[in-house]
């Protein structure tokens, strides 16, 4: 009866993590169907423990300063602020149904999309004061920002549209139809890439002209797309024909396909470029190494959704990906990758595996100033 | 063993979903419902397991010590249909589809009002680390509210017009638990929904506890001459305890033993009967014929008619009085 051993497991958690002799990366998996978070040893690929949460955890994001993992418990109406290095919970905040959440690139706003109540909420990231709330016609699903943090774009699953919300004016400035049942959405080089669950297509939406074109095709039930930290590839998922597609980030051409059964949902990357994917219908996490196509599985709780890889390597931080070229794409695209701090190694870039695949020359790494690393949202200061 | 079993169970749910449900959703253009559909596949499978477990436990007990030795299966068929429609998710799914938009609107309105439903773990932080204990506390609180809902079903004429269907069964068996009018089911959902606004929803990750509750509620209707002993009768609702509530006299006149799981509420509010020797015949002599012998559809239709009659003050079958102690 492992369930009954939980309180003890919780008490000993911090100690056991600190006592781990070899510092393997730690992976957190949010089991939405089981009110728990699985903590996985990335090297041994075993579950170290399960942390109880209130009801239903779906997504996790890092605070803009990279110090804290924020986990949304949509059924329990709370945000959990966790130290990703130790698994210690620093504080909790009561907030209405935080299903999908994301910070703006400048770190000023926290945006929550709630599918269940057809609303999008804009909070002040530091104080968690609600500054605006929008009703949306039907099922706001995923959100992505523009790199200048002026706009947030939301897929509306029920109506097949994308809505653009102006964060400074606090109003929806336009909505455009994009196709059947849009799900995932990311910013990628001046465009929005959107997965259409009702088709095999990812479309590209130009936010200036609002023109929608086919970006690339995967298979039936296109779902979400994630930029790899190295900036060379995007990885797109589909659900009905379950799999993951490696997409060239420059040309948006499909490079190769990996069959992954079980409905891959969220993807996190480890510093070696491996993909950690939650398999929503299978109660498992798949670990895919795109360099050789090998795949491994770890059993977790029911309906795993959000996932986060915490590197535990010398000098590497939770937000290691933010200093890498891929940081300019995604839900929270940075204007440019952050500069590495002194003594911080760049994560290992996996070499391109496909002969003849176009290689992206990484752009210059310029950081204006780390203006948002000292914001009021620093959770340590709040305690 | 348990891990192995639950893994195989999950794989089965996944297989059903991926081979049958999801492709169908895709071709119907309903992929935005995929996650809900997966939940319903789980509901259906879990319902099957529950029905099987309930049957495996209650049927032998009914055969062992029946109150009514030769129950005609014809009278039970309607109750079996009630059980399958409810437990395998047919009626709940229809409710979900009908009320989905209203539910989203209500949730939005509540968020707008600034009210965030609290949960019991906030009041008792120790429950955060011991989810199964939190679950038990929820069960007790919900059971308290269910006691009162049941009291009201017997108090208001229009509500009794619906609940009378549950009591009209003269050949009560463990299948009778789900014999409720769909309007009554909707009222229950609203009642528990209102409670959820006050104390949140209970944790949902305890299939074993949920199955135990299901067995307990079904067993309390079983056609079996079983009581739980002097102490047990006061701790848990037994077949004897609930049969007394279903007694021919109980339904219309005396009004006893309303509790669903814990008799303590009847004891606290003075409606308990702990006479361990009484296993009365069940039924409601004043119920319309359709309630007694009609099939599912006829009972549903008649239920609507009876509610209207009750609201117009033209129904003679009046609810129970609460006794002044006996
Ligand atoms: Zn009753
Ligand atoms: Zn009953």
Q: Does B207 touch chain A (CB under 8 A)?
A: no
Question: What is the structure's pLDDT at A137?
Answer: 79
Q: Which ligand is nearest to the CA of B320?
A: 1
* Residue A46 structural domain: 22-382
Provide DSSP, B161-186: HHHHHHH--SS--GGGGG---HHHHH
Q: Do A280 and B38 touch (CB under 8 A)?
A: yes
> B213 phi and psi, to 5 degrees?
-60, -45
- Segment A17-47, tens digit of pLDDT: 444 445 899 999 999 999 999 999 999 999 9
Determine the length of chain A: 383
| A159 domain-assigned | yes
Distance B154 CA to ligand 1 centre (A): 6
The overall pTM is greater than 0.80: yes
Residue B157 lies in a domain: yes
Q: Which residue of A has its CA nearest to B114?
A: A96
d(CA A57, CA A308): 13
**How does pLDDT run across A281-327, given as a tens digit for each residue?**
889 999 999 999 999 999 999 899 999 999 998 888 999 888 899 99
Measured in angstroms, the CA of A55 and the nearest CA of chain B are apart by 6
Name the phi and psi angles at B169, rounded to 5. Answer: -65, 115
Q: Does B228 reside within a domain?
A: yes
Number of domains in chain A: 1
For residue A26, list its beta bridge partners. Answer: A41, A310
Nearest CA of chain B to the CA of A241: how many Å?
Answer: 9
In this prediction, residues A228-239 reach a mean pLDDT of 95
Dihedral sign of CA atoms A50, A56, A62, A63 in order: negative
pLDDT above 70 covers a percentage of chain A that reads: 83
Residue B325: is its pLDDT beyond 60?
no
Name the residue of chain B whose CA is nearest to A283's CA.
B10
Residue B52 within any structural domain of the chain: yes
At residue A10, does pLDDT exceed 50? no
Model confidence over B15-46: pLDDT tens digits?
999 999 999 999 999 998 988 999 899 999 99
| Separation between Cα atoms, residue B202 and residue B193, nearest integer Å | 11
Which of the ligands is closest to the CA of residue B163? 1
Of A200-204, A356-360, A363-367, B231-235, least confident by mean pLDDT is: A363-367
User: Residue B274: is it exposed, middle or buried by C-beta count within 10 angstroms (0-12/13-18/19+)?
Assistant: middle
Domain count, chain B: 1
Q: Is residue B321 situated within a structural domain?
A: no
Q: Does residue A4 fall inside a structural domain? A: no
Interface of A with B in 305-364 (CB under 8 A): none
Q: Is B267 contained in some domain?
A: yes
Distance CA A354, CA B312 (A): 78
Whether ipTM exceeds 0.90: no
Question: Is B316 domain-assigned?
Answer: no
- The structure tokens 């000292």 sit at A374
Measured in Å, residue B40 CA sits from the centre of ligand 1 at 29
Residues of A in contact with B13 (CB under 8 A): 281
CA of B289 to the centre of ligand 2 (A): 19
Answer whether residue A8 is part of any domain. no
In this prediction, residue B254 carries a pLDDT of 60
Q: Which DSSP helix (H) or strand (E) runs through B290?
A: helix B289-293
B206, part of any domain: yes
Is residue A5 a part of any domain in this protein? no
Nearest CA to CA, how far is A71 from chain B (Å)?
16
Q: Could you tell me the residue range of the domain that residue B296 belongs to? A: 2-311
B123: left (phi over 0), alpha (psi -120 to 50) or beta: alpha
| Numbers of helices and strands, H then E, in chain B | 16, 0
Four-point Cα dihedral B318, B324, B325, B326, nearest 10: -60
A260 inside domain? yes
Rounded (5°) CA angle B236-B237-B240? 125
Q: Is residue B319 part of a domain?
A: no
Here the CATH number for the domain that contains residue A113 is 2.130.10.10
Say yes or no for a CB contact (<8 Å) between B116 and A96. yes
Contact B259, B154 (CB under 8 A): no
Say whether B38 and A52 touch across the interface (CB within 8 A).
no
Tell me the backbone φ, ψ of residue A254, rounded to 5 degrees.
-75, 125
Is residue A244 situated within a structural domain?
yes
CA angle A284/B136/B97 to nearest 5° reads 60
């Amino acid at each position: 009866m492992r369930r009954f051993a939980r309180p003890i497991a919780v008490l000993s958690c911090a100690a056991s993590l600190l006592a781990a002799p070899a510092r393997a990366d730690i992976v957190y998996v949010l089991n939405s169907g089981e009110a728990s978070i699985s903590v996985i040893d990335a090297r041994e690929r075993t579950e170290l423990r399960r942390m109880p949460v209130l009801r239903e955890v779906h997504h996790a994001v890092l605070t803009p300063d990279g110090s804290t993992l924020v986990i949304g418990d949509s059924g329990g109406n709370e945000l959990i602020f966790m130290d990703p290095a130790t698994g210690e919970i620093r504080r909790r905040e009561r907030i209405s149904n935080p299903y999908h959440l994301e910070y703006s690139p400048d770190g000023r706003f926290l945006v929550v999309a709630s599918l269940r109540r057809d609303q999008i909420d804009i909070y002040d990231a530091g104080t968690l004061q609600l500054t605006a709330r929008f009703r949306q016609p039907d099922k706001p699903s995923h959100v992505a920002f523009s790199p200048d943090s002026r706009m947030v774009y939301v897929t509306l699953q029920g109506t097949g549209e994308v809505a653009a919300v102006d964060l400074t004016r606090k109003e929806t400035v336009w909505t455009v139809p994009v196709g059947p049942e849009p799900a995932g959405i990311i910013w990628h080089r001046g465009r929005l890439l959107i997965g259409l669950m009702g088709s095999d297509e990812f479309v590209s939406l130009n936010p200036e002209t609002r023109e929608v074109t086919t970006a690339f095709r995967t298979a039936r039930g296109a779902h979400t797309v994630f930029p790899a930290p190295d900036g060379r590839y995007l990885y797109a998922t589909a659900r009905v024909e379950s799999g993951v597609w490696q997409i060239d980030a420059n040309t948006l051409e499909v490079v190769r396909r990996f069959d992954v059964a079980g409905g891959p949902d969220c993807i996190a990357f480890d510093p070696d470029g491996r993909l950690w994917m939650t398999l929503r219908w299978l109660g498992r996490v798949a670990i895919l190494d795109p360099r050789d196509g090998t795949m491994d599985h770890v059993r977790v709780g029911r309906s795993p959704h959000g996932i986060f890889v915490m590197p535990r390597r010398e000098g590497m931080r939770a937000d290691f990906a933010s200093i890498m070229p891929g940081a300019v794409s995604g839900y929270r695209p940075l204007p440019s990758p952050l500069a590495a701090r002194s003594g911080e190694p760049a994560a290992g870039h996996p070499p391109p595996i496909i002969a003849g695949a176009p290689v992206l020359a990484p752009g210059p790494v310029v950081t204006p100033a780390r203006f948002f690393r000292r914001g009021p949202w620093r959770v340590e200061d709040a305690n | 063993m348990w891990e192995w079993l639950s893994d195989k169970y999950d794989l089965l749910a996944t297989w059903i979903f991926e081979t049958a449900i999801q492709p169908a959703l895709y071709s119907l253009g309903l992929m935005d419902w995929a996650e809900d559909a997966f939940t319903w596949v789980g509901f259906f499978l879990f319902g099957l397991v529950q029905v099987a477990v309930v049957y495996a436990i209650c049927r032998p007990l009914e055969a062992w010590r029946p109150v009514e030795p030769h129950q005609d299966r014809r009278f039970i068929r309607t109750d079996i249909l009630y059980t399958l429609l409810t437990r395998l998710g047919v009626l709940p799914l229809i409710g979900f589809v009908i009320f989905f938009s209203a539910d989203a609107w209500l949730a939005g309105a509540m968020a707008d009002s600034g009210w965030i439903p609290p949960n019991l773990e906030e009041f008792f932080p120790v429950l955060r680390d011991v989810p199964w204990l939190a679950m038990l506390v929820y069960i007790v609180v919900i059971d308290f509210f269910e006691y009162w809902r049941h009291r009201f079903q017997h108090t208001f004429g229009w509500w009794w017009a619906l609940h009378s269907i549950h009591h009209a069964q003269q050949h009560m068996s463990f299948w009778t638990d789900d014999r409720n009018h769909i309007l009554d089911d909707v009222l229950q959902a609203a009642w528990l929904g209102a409670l959820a606004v006050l104390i949140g929803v209970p944790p949902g990750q305890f299939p074993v506890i949920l199955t135990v509750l299901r067995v307990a509620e079904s067993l309390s209707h079983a056609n079996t001459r079983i009581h739980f002993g002097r102490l047990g009768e006061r701790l848990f609702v037994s077949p004897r305890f609930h049969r007394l509530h279903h007694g021919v006299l109980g339904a219309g006149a005396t009004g006893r033993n309303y509790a669903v799981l814990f008799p303590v509420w009847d004891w606290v509010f003075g409606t308990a009967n702990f006479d361990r020797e009484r296993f009365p015949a069940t039924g409601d002599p004043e119920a319309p014929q359709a309630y007694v012998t009609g099939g599912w559809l006829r009972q549903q239709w008649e239920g609507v008619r009876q509610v209207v009659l009750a609201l117009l003050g033209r129904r003679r079958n009046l609810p129970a009085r609460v006794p002044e102690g006996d």
